[in-house]
Structure 1
Amino acid sequence: MKLILLGPPGAGKGTQAQRLVDKYGIPQLSTGDMLRAAAAAGTDIGLRAKAIMDRGELVPDDIMVEIIAERIDQPDTARGFILDGFPRTVAQAEALDKLLESRGISLDAVVEIAVDEQELIKRIATRAKEMGGSRGDDDATAKRLEVYRKQTAPVSEHYGAKGMLRRVNGMGTMDEVTALIDAHLRPLVEA
C-alpha cells in the first residue's frame, strides 16, 4: 500500500498515519523525520539539507525529492509507505510523480482528510488552551491554513484529475475518520 495523506494542519493526518502504519505494517514517511535522519546520517544530500535548515530556509524541492528517493529505496518500504507532509505543492507532486515513475512505483491512493476550517480553528484553539497556548497560536493557525489553501489544496486537484483522490470527512471522531479511510482502502487491499 503506497499512500499520500493530505489535509490541513490539525486535521489529524499524524494520528491517522499512525493507525495506517499499525494496520498495514508500512512506514510513515514524514518529511521532517526524513530531513533529520538524512542530516544525522551525514549523507551528502543530508548535509546540504542541514546547511539550508541551519540558515532557517526551506529545503528546495529537488533536495526533498532526493531525500525521498533515498528513503523509498530502503528495504522497509518494499511493501509500501505513507507519505505525510509531502507533496505540499503541485510542483512537488509532479516531481514525486516522476520519481515514482522512474522507480516503477505507483501510488495506490491519495487520501485527503477534509475539514471545516472554522471548526478546525476552534478545535485547535481548544487544544492549545488545554496545553497553555496563547492568542498568538490562533494567528499562527490562521496563517498556516491560508498557506495550505493557496499551496497545498491544489495538490488535491492534481491527484483528483488522475482518479487517485479519496476524500474523507475529518470532522468526526478519530475512530470515525479511521473507518472512513478504511472504507476507501479496503477495496484496494482486496483487489
Structure 2
Amino acid sequence: MRIILLGPPGTGKGTQGKFIIKKYNIPHISTGDILRENISSGSIIGEKIKNTMIQGKLVDNNIICDLITKRIQKKDCDNGFLLDGFPRNIEQAQYLSRKKINIDYILELLIPYKLILERISGRRIHLNSGRIYHIKFNPPKEKNIDDFTGEKLCIREDDKIEIVKKRLKEYIQLSQPLTQYYQEKKIQDNLKYFQLNGANTLSEVKKNIDFILKNSYF
C-alpha cells in the first residue's frame, strides 16, 4: 500500500501518518524528518537545507527527490510506504512517475489558513527527544518546560509566524497545479484521490481515512 499525504504545514499529516503506518505496518517517510536529519548531521547538504528553510523557502527539487528516492529504495519499503510532505509540486509528482514509483492513494488534508497559523505558531519542541507540544491543544504540565526532563522547550525556526506565512504562500502557489495534476490522473489512471477536512478532530479524520483505506483498497 503506497500512500501520499498532501496538505500544507499544520494540517495534521504527521499525526495521521502515525495512525496509518501502525495499522498497515508500512514506513512513514516524512520529508520534514529527512530534512531535519540532514540538518542535524552537519553535512554540507544539511547546511544548505537549513539556510533555505530559515528563509521560509522550499528546498530544491533535486535535493528532495534524491533524498526521497534513497529512502524508498530501502528494504522496509518493499511492501509499501507513506509519503508525508512529498511531492509538493508538479515536478516532484512527475519525478515519481518517471521513476515508475506507483501510488495507490492520494489523501489530501484541507484546512483554513487561520487555523494553520494557530496550529503551527503554537508548537513547542523538546530538541533532544523530538517531543512536540502545543500551547493550546497539547500544553506541557509547566509552561515551556518538557514534561519528562524539565528542560526548556523551544520554537523551531521554521515554526515562527513570519516564516510560516512565507511557507504557506509558497505552498499555495505550488499546490494548485499539483492538485490539478492528480485530479487528472484520478480520471485517466483511476487513481484513488480523496480530499478530507483537516479541521475536524484527529479522531474524526482518522475515522474517515480508515473508512477510505478499508473500503477502496484492492
Shorter-chain TM-score: which interval?
Answer: 0.7 to 0.9
- Tell me whether 1:2 sits opposite 2:2 in the alignment: yes
- Tell me whether 1:85 sits opposite 2:85 in the alignment: yes
Question: 2:179 matched to which residue of 1?
Answer: 156
Amino acid corresponding to residue 116 of structure 2 in structure 1? L
Amino acid corresponding to residue 4 of structure 1 in structure 2? I
Report the secondary structure of 1:162's partner residue: helix
- Tell me whether 1:184 sits opposite 2:207 in the alignment: no
Shift of 1:187: 2.6
- Tell me whether 1:108 sits opposite 2:104 in the alignment: yes
- Tell me whether 1:117 sits opposite 2:140 in the alignment: no
Contact 2:26 2:79 in 1 (8 A): yes
Shift of 1:69: 1.9
1:188 to 1:73, Cα distance in 2 relative to 1, 3 A: farther
Contact 1:108 1:188 in 2 (8 A): no
Amino acid corresponding to residue 156 of structure 1 in structure 2? T
Shift of 1:48: 6.4
Deviation readout 1:75-123 (Å, 9 max, x if unpaired)? 1001110111111111111112212x1xxx4100110001122333344
Question: 1:11 matched to which residue of 2?
Answer: 11
TM-score (norm 2): 0.70
Question: 1:68 matched to which residue of 2?
Answer: 68
Please give the alpha-carbon distance, in whole angstroms, between the structure 1 residues aligned to 2:49 and 2:3: 27
Report the secondary structure of 1:19's partner residue: helix
What is the aligned residue count? 180
Report the secondary structure of 1:8's partner residue: coil
Please give the alpha-carbon distance, in whole angstroms, between the structure 1 residues aligned to 2:207 and 2:197: 11
Please give the alpha-carbon distance, in whole angstroms, between the structure 2 residues aligned to 1:169 and 1:88: 19
- Tell me whether 1:166 sits opposite 2:189 in the alignment: no
Contact 2:26 2:77 in 1 (8 A): yes
Please give the alpha-carbon distance, in whole angstroms, between the structure 1 residues aligned to 2:61 and 2:180: 20
Contact 1:89 1:151 in 2 (8 A): yes
Deviation readout 1:141-177 (Å, 9 max, x if unpaired)? 3332212111234322211111132101111110100
Question: 1:142 matched to which residue of 2?
Answer: 165
Give ranges in structure 1 of 5+ residues lacking alignment.
42-46
Question: 2:45 matched to which residue of 1?
Answer: 49
Contact 2:35 2:49 in 1 (8 A): no
Please give the alpha-carbon distance, in whole angstroms, between the structure 1 residues aligned to 2:94 and 2:33: 22
Aligned-pair identity (%): 35
Contact 1:35 1:49 in 2 (8 A): no
Contact 2:39 2:49 in 1 (8 A): no
The structure where helix makes up a greater share of residues is 1
Deviation readout 1:31-60 (Å, 9 max, x if unpaired)? 24334667889xxxxx66336336x24653
1:158 to 1:76, Cα distance in 2 relative to 1, 3 A: same
